[in-house]
Structure 1
Amino acid sequence: MSKKSFEEALESLEQITRELENGDLSLEKSLKKFDEGIKLAELCNHKLEEAQQKVDLLLKKDGKLISVPFTASGTAADEDDA
């Protein structure tokens, strides 16, 4: 599931929401869909956080838009050189 793009995950999450709102699923299927929806929401949130980190890094370099690779910790790979 983590290989999905943000857009694919969001589309799947919207489909699950429609299915749950429809109310035609059994309790067991509803719980399974809910669990899948939670995982998709977490994936979307993670991808949004990554995008925010990249935007922050782009804007961090003296107000100039410079693309800087970031690490999982959210720091620029070449930040010590600056």
Structure 2
Amino acid sequence: MVARMAENAPDIANMSFEDALRALEDVVRKLESGEAKLDESIDLYERGEKLRQHCQARLDAAQERIEKIVAGPDGTAKGTQPFDAG
């Protein structure tokens, strides 16, 4: 089943954030159930870590693109500036 899981798994690099998050949630559910054999659990954990890294990278990229609207004295939008999380 472990080899079959890797064969049928979509390429993480091409997954949307939402798809990767759903896949990560599935991995967590399977690991938490305790029903997976040791080798399968290790493979699931490795896939989960790759999915987590992919999700974090997508979030980091999105945060870089977030822009804060700069309002003028009259309250209307006058432009944008890069988001500053600090």
Q: Same fold (TM over 0.5)?
A: yes
CA distance in structure 1 between the aligned counterparts of 2:32 and 2:26, rounded to whole angstroms? 10
Cα deviation digits, residues 12-68 of structure 1 (max 9, x gap): 00000000000001110000000000000000000000000001xx22xx82237x8
Q: Which has the higher strand share?
A: 2
1:13 and 2:24 aligned: yes
What code does the residue aligned with 2:80 have? L
Please list every run of 5 or more consecutive structure 2 residues that lacks an aligned counterpart in the other structure. 1-11, 71-78
Larger Rg: 2
1:3 and 2:14 aligned: yes
Please list every run of 5 or more consecutive structure 1 residues that lacks an aligned counterpart in the other structure. 69-82
TM-score (norm 2): 0.68
TM-score (norm 1): 0.71
The number of equivalent residue pairs is 63
Give the percent of matched residue pairs that are identical in Structure 1 and Structure 2. Answer: 32
SS of corresponding position for 2:13: coil
1:26 and 2:37 aligned: yes
CA distance in structure 2 between the aligned counterparts of 1:18 and 1:65, rounded to whole angstroms? 41
Q: CA RMSD in A?
A: 1.8
SS of corresponding position for 1:65: strand
